[in-house]
Structure 1
Amino acid sequence: MKKDEMHTAHETHEEMKMTHNMDDHSMEDHNHSMHDHSHGHAMEGMDHSMHMGNFKKKFWLSLILAIPIIFLSPMMGVDLPFQFTFPGSDWVVLVLASILFFYGGQPFLSGAKMELQQKAPAMMTLISMGITVAYVYSLYAFVVNHISPHQHTMDFFWELATLIVIMLLGHWLEMNAISNAGDALDKMAALLPDTVRKLSAAGEEVEIPMNEVKEQDHLIVRSGDKIPADGKILSGSTSVDESMVTGESKMVMKQKGDTVIGGAINGSGTLEIEVTGVGESGYLSKVMQLVQQAQSDKSKLESLSDKVARWLFYIALAVGLGSFVLWLIVTGDLSMAFERMVTVFIIACPHALGLAIPLVIARSTSIAARHGLLIKNRNAMEQTENLRYVLLDKTGTLTEGKFTVSGLELFNNTYDKTEVLKYIGALEAGANHPLALGIMNYLESQQIAPYKAESLQSLSGIGLVGTVNSKQVKIINEKEVSRLSLHVEENRKEKYLQQGNTLSYLIIEDELIALLALGDKIKPQAKAFITELKKQEIIPVMLTGDNRTAATAVAEYLGIDEFYSELLPENKEEKIKEYLSKNEKVMMVGDGINDAPSLARATIGVAIGAGTDVAIDSADVVLADSDPMDIIRFLDLAKQTRRKMVQNLWWGAGYNIFAIPLAAGILAPIGFILNPAVGAVLMSLSTIIVASNAMTLRVKGE
């Protein structure tokens, strides 16, 4: 099917309804129930803190509070050259530090409470442990120093202030990174206009708000305007830029009868369109829903990072307490022992680890959406590793799926060609598969009006049957002709088969009447696609319901060595099972309802050309365009995404292999001791590196 014909095929996609609230840049005015660009599991430990306060605001106010503390209190008990004191300055420090602890530390304390309630202590708990222990011990030191001035106890107000400010800065930068990762969704949300020109019943143009547009409304779209909703062109012709919606960079020609996508940019012509999809039924809305759904799902690598983060918490807790006891025994210095414990807690905060995978996924799904690749299942990205086979449904994937009548052969003189076409048209008029569309387009071009059919039924994997002019009429395929032992002279069909045509046979009252040949053009990108798959050492396998001669012609032209012909829908699924039984990873690519079982069965199911509702439901990946090269782009993006995931896992957790022992003081014998402030810097630096690394993800050609 044509791509633009598919965009309105999935009107009711219930499983993709929104489950999140809308944020400030939602599309309420456009009648879209878009939720805020949830960062999914990435922010499980801190989503609530985003609602409790703006990190940017908290950072700047906390910095203002921290500056006097930094100038008025010593670092690790050592007065720095720029520091000074005056009578009562310690009270100023206490008050400012207390405000800073409860205000700046609030997101972390609230996050820790939630993590502990869920019995899943992680990054927020570690941060909270660090700042709480630092604050409480500093209060103790303040009291001791005022009660017994001669017995000075070191406080950690300086470390508390710098730690909170640095962690807030890190979180603010991470929030920006996450927001940037989903920028494609924001841009999509801005694609639709605020007002539209509606054609009234009297034929007058009336400007109305976008949220008042309903299906079946007639709208006027002028040159350069954004197309406000999915629709069918009633009059006019133009070229349309759909690149932001589908990823297809070239202008697409449109004329009367064609469909257009909401969000595309109209070219030079003026159009009158009938709205077929608006709000949640619109294609643009579904694209955004698919992207958001993918961003909120959890991948296997992300589940691994969750487990690592949890173990890291327990390791940090054990090492921190262990180092406290050991340093206290060795030095007898409570402040020194306490400092080691706090440093371990700070440096082990797994915040970078918690963001390692979700940031890459958010960036990856946004990039994919811009290029017409809609990732429904995150694990599809990871499953591409060691992918061995790509099974391809021929029609609509390797071929255009736009059939044209290339020949008609009559087997008796009872009916002439026109009447035969009227009988065929009677059965095909109500069908919407590519063969039917090709036949009906041909009848329209020949100005042949088909008969009317009654009791029409579809015969799975065979054809159609119905009653026409009180006669039982069937249209069947080559395989059914063989099963019924109907004789067809080889020379009457061979010339069509050699050209890769699909043959349909007309049966009237159990008598073979005619043969209809339909040709399907191979997509211009198909050969390059097969070549590229082979370069990546992935074996292409073609599946088709066509006869073997037709299948062989296509396979030989494209360079496909493995192919299976004359398959029913259930046969395709069986082939998937066969390859899976070899413990091989299998991708299935198809575009129709018949492909749905195979798409669901495969390791990775890819619906091409937007497909049908059922195909989309069954697929892990949906390609908005019908270009098979998009599969190569998906494989490339998946490879790069996985590489970034692994890199981020090492950045987010691997550095702790060295950092935690340093924080515990393993190099103290040679005079190297890591203080809490440096630990906070290292922790924040790791999260910034993880975020920056995720944002460098690109696809070829970007």
Structure 2
Amino acid sequence: MENKHHEHHEHHEHHEHHEHNNHEGHETHGGHDHSHHGDFKTIFFRSLVLGIPILFLAPMMGIKLPFQFEFNGSTWVVMILSTILFFYGGAPFLNGAKDELSDRSPAMMTLISLGISVSYIYSMYAFGMNTFIYKNHQVMDFFWELASLILIMLLGHWIEMDAVSSAGNALEKMAALLPSDATLIKEDGSTQVIPLSKIKKDDIVLVKAGENMPVDGLIIHGETNVNEAMITGESLAVKKKVNDSVIGGSVNGFGTIQVKVTGSGSSGYLAQVMHLVETASNDKSKAESMADRVAKWLFYVAVVVSLIALLIWGITQNINVGIERMVTVLVIACPHALGLAIPLVTARSTSLAAQNGLLIKKREAIELADHVDMVMMDKTGTLTEGNFKVMHYQSNHEEVSDHEMLELFASLEQHSSHPLAKGIMEKAEQESVDLKVVSDVQTIAGVGLQGLYNDKQVKITSAAYLDKNNISYDQSLFNELTSKGYSVSYLLYDEMDIGVIAQGDEIKKTSQAMVQTLQSLGITPVMLTGDNENAAKAVARQLKIDHVHAQLLPEDKERIVLDYQNKGNTVMMVGDGVNDAPSLVRADIGIAIGAGTDVAIDAADVILVKSDPNDILNFLKLSKNTNRKMKENLIWGAGYNFLAIPLAAGILAGVGFILSPAIGAILMSLSTVIVAINAMFLKL
């Protein structure tokens, strides 16, 4: 990479980063993380092998179905298979219930566990009574319900896990930015390659051209330009000379430098960003999902109603009738339809999203999107294209046409691989200029490029060079161009200003409409950027964004997100660089732009594959529709349970109506089917 050759970029200078210790501890709430309960797909298929024979051999709530049969000893087969199924297939739910109860927040897992445990324990009691005491099968068992419930719940969880792709590990990707060893310069001047872990503060390391910086430090010898894009998200290479600081993980350009270590390993800047990501992901309050809230109410209702049923039937009839009623209530309370209500919508929503270039990694993101009132966006690469384009060029000499000026500019720039050079070469190609032969081209440190054309010296420089050498140029044009956030370069021929080129990072075509739509939805757009104030405000003015925070480090972005959250806002963050990772994790919903870094993508809950800001609106629209479907499904799924529980308890026994377990089972199946069909009708 050529030297960084336009000094106006000094706004990218690296601010000293501070130790980031201002984390208040946050408790993790509710919500349930299913990931540690094993691979649901494997458990489901193994359980299916155990469950199918039970469904064929055990009656459904006392009724023999047309396809069922029995043989001598079949009750023993059912009992043995049910026992294995309960302890194997039921384990994820029992473990989940243990977690929920230890958090004092019973929800879906507790409700399922209650249903399967009661079914199993009462069925074992029935099996014992029927096999050893009454020979004529007087006690109804619930082995069929146990098997069907475990299978449906495992299927629901597998569908959900499958739909929501596994999150990658942002921390591993960050760690990979640091090389595994470094070249230590010893006191006698010789060098030795040693593992990075052995490098200490104040050591001096040698970093060759093109290598990743192994440590944070100060340059004590040499000059170079450094690509910090993967750290700061800004695409421009930054010029570095003696006494400038470098960040571990950034990429060294053309120069070989010696760096005195100020931080390495766990004390380095990258390690601090990793620490931020880790604490933010632990702190991120696990929003309690809708299904869990409904399940919590169902759990309390079922327990209370079943105890009342036990009491009343136990007193008015006998204890056996009381127990059977209680068990029937608890089994009917089991959320078959509820267990599928959300996963089926999630699966449909996730596949719709994928077809439209949205990858949803966390289900909670969809449910939370309804409450978002702040959308924070990184500038470079999110609202803007992240690649420089020539916005203005003109000759400053009457004998040189604009076209000739561009020709000479490009003839010199073709020798550079700088991002600004790329923009100029693209423009030259569009204008089909003929490139001239410029000889003896060299980088002038801190200034730009120079070469020989027609035996005269040509140079590309910054305004700072013109000021320093008292070369006159149009100051008002310069101010006008920089106020738009452009990068300005001058062409000198024989130390005389003959032309100027201004480049800007183009705003994405869809950014403006997206910002307006957000505002019309009552959502406040906020711009966060590591770029300079001028460039940030210029873009914000064009997009009509009122809230702008510029010259930010990763910890600043993360702190701003936290500040807004502490004020009660639900924050969505959209970004694309390592510097966005902590804020993506900290935000209630983190959205990564697909063209960004792997680290940002892993830290996010949602990925916009097409890097189109408009997809933010598609995500919000999809979330709205998905949430509506989820609510409808919860009403269908749980509505059945809330209605069936008091009927099963015998609330209408006075008028001669008690919901028989068999009718309960049929209604339960019906609500499951309705929920499945409703999920399929979800549209974007």
TM bucket (normalised to shorter chain) is 0.5 to 0.7
Equivalences for 1:406-425 in 2 at 5 Å?
406-408=391-393
- Structure 1: how far apart are the matches of 2:439 and 2:567? 49
Secondary structure of 1:385's aligned partner: helix
Q: Which amino acid aligns with 2:313?
A: W
- Structure 2: how far apart are the matches of 1:390 and 1:420? 41
Partner of 1:504: 488
Q: 1:300 to 1:356 in 2, by over 3 A?
A: farther
Kindly indicate whether the alpha-carbon contact (under 8 Å) linking 1:170 and 1:684 is maintained by their aligned counterparts in 2: no
Q: 1:425 to 1:308 in 2, by over 3 A?
A: same
Q: 1:176 to 1:690 in 2, by over 3 A?
A: farther
Partner of 1:332: 318
Secondary structure of 2:618's aligned partner: helix
Secondary structure of 1:384's aligned partner: helix
Partner of 2:309: 323
Q: 1:395 to 1:679 in 2, by over 3 A?
A: same
Partner of 2:74: 96
Structure 1 residue 589 corresponds to structure 2 residue 589: no
Q: 1:169 to 1:438 in 2, by over 3 A?
A: same
Structure 1 residue 130 corresponds to structure 2 residue 119: yes
- Structure 2: how far apart are the matches of 1:96 and 1:483? 98
Equivalences for 1:242-321 in 2 at 5 Å?
300-301=286-287, 305-306=291-292, 309=295, 316=302, 319-320=305-306
- Structure 2: how far apart are the matches of 1:113 and 1:594? 41
Deviation of the 1:346 alpha carbon: 0.8
Equivalences for 1:296-695 in 2 at 5 Å?
300-301=286-287, 305-306=291-292, 309=295, 316=302, 319-320=305-306, 323-332=309-318, 334=320, 336-408=321-393, 429-431=417-419, 435-442=420-427, 446=433, 447=435, 489-493=474-478, 496=481, 502-505=486-489, 515-519=500-504, 521-541=506-526, 545=531, 555-556=541-542, 560=544, 562=546, 564=548, 567-570=550-553, 573=557, 582-592=567-577, 599=584, 602-653=587-638, 655-695=640-680
Taking only aligned residues, the RMSD between alpha carbons, in angstroms, comes to 5.4
CA shift digits 1:421-440 (9 cap, x unpaired): 677666x6155xxx453134
Q: 1:44 to 1:476 in 2, by over 3 A?
A: farther
Q: 1:65 aligns with which of 22, 45, 57?
A: 57
Deviation of the 1:638 alpha carbon: 1.9
Kindly indicate whether the alpha-carbon contact (under 8 Å) linking 2:79 and 2:124 is maintained by their aligned counterparts in 1: yes
CA shift digits 1:149-195 (9 cap, x unpaired): xxx872325xx46535754774697589659x74999xxxxxxxxxx
Equivalences for 1:36-185 in 2 at 5 Å?
41=34, 44=37, 47=40, 50=43, 53=46, 55=48, 61-66=53-58, 95-103=73-81, 106-112=84-90, 115-116=93-94, 119=98, 121-141=110-130, 143-146=132-135, 154-156=138-140, 160=142, 163=145, 167=149, 170=152, 174=156, 182=163
Q: More deviation in 543-552 or 100-109? A: 543-552
Kindly indicate whether the alpha-carbon contact (under 8 Å) linking 2:366 and 2:627 is maintained by their aligned counterparts in 1: yes
- Structure 2: how far apart are the matches of 1:530 and 1:81? 59
Kindly indicate whether the alpha-carbon contact (under 8 Å) linking 1:184 and 1:366 is maintained by their aligned counterparts in 2: no
Kindly indicate whether the alpha-carbon contact (under 8 Å) linking 1:404 and 1:520 is maintained by their aligned counterparts in 2: yes
- Structure 1: how far apart are the matches of 2:469 and 2:317? 95
Q: Percent identity?
A: 38
- State the number of aligned residues: 504
- Structure 2: how far apart are the matches of 1:140 and 1:553? 78
- Structure 1: how far apart are the matches of 2:475 and 2:386? 26
- Structure 2: how far apart are the matches of 1:82 and 1:588? 56
Partner of 1:29: none
Q: 1:581 to 1:485 in 2, by over 3 A?
A: farther
Q: 1:443 to 1:410 in 2, by over 3 A?
A: same
Kindly indicate whether the alpha-carbon contact (under 8 Å) linking 2:394 and 2:501 is maintained by their aligned counterparts in 1: yes
Secondary structure of 1:678's aligned partner: helix
Secondary structure of 2:73's aligned partner: helix
Kindly indicate whether the alpha-carbon contact (under 8 Å) linking 2:406 and 2:428 is maintained by their aligned counterparts in 1: no
- Structure 1: how far apart are the matches of 2:573 and 2:503? 25
Q: Which amino acid aligns with 1:643?
A: R
Deviation of the 1:307 alpha carbon: 7.3
Secondary structure of 1:504's aligned partner: strand
- Structure 2: how far apart are the matches of 1:605 and 1:695? 27
Q: 1:550 to 1:622 in 2, by over 3 A?
A: closer
Q: More deviation in 622-631 or 641-650? A: 641-650
Kindly indicate whether the alpha-carbon contact (under 8 Å) linking 1:542 and 1:555 is maintained by their aligned counterparts in 2: no
Secondary structure of 2:572's aligned partner: strand
Secondary structure of 2:329's aligned partner: helix
Q: 1:417 to 1:44 in 2, by over 3 A?
A: closer
Q: 1:685 to 1:404 in 2, by over 3 A?
A: same
Q: 1:368 to 1:678 in 2, by over 3 A?
A: same
CA shift digits 1:569-590 (9 cap, x unpaired): 4498387677556543343434
Deviation of the 1:537 alpha carbon: 2.4
Equivalences for 1:205-216 in 2 at 5 Å?
none
- Structure 2: how far apart are the matches of 1:487 and 1:602? 49
Q: 1:598 to 1:123 in 2, by over 3 A?
A: closer
Q: More deviation in 396-405 or 417-426? A: 417-426
Q: 1:524 to 1:303 in 2, by over 3 A?
A: closer
Q: Which amino acid aligns with 1:134?
A: S
Q: Which amino acid aligns with 2:140?
A: F
Secondary structure of 1:127's aligned partner: helix
Q: 1:506 to 1:675 in 2, by over 3 A?
A: same
Deviation of the 1:632 alpha carbon: 0.7
Q: 1:393 to 1:512 in 2, by over 3 A?
A: farther
Q: 1:550 to 1:518 in 2, by over 3 A?
A: farther
Deviation of the 1:394 alpha carbon: 4.8
CA shift digits 1:255-287 (9 cap, x unpaired): xxxxxxxxxxxxxxxxxxxxxxxxxxxxxxxxx
Deviation of the 1:633 alpha carbon: 0.3
- Structure 1: how far apart are the matches of 2:635 and 2:304? 22
Secondary structure of 2:373's aligned partner: strand
- Structure 2: how far apart are the matches of 1:98 and 1:491? 94
CA shift digits 1:521-570 (9 cap, x unpaired): 554434433343233222345567578699658845x5x252649x4344
Deviation of the 1:349 alpha carbon: 1.9
CA shift digits 1:372-391 (9 cap, x unpaired): 11234444334433333334
What residue ranges of structure 2 are gaps of 5+ in the alignment? 1-31, 100-109, 167-283, 452-456
Q: Which amino acid aligns with 1:127?
A: I
Q: 1:309 to 1:551 in 2, by over 3 A?
A: closer
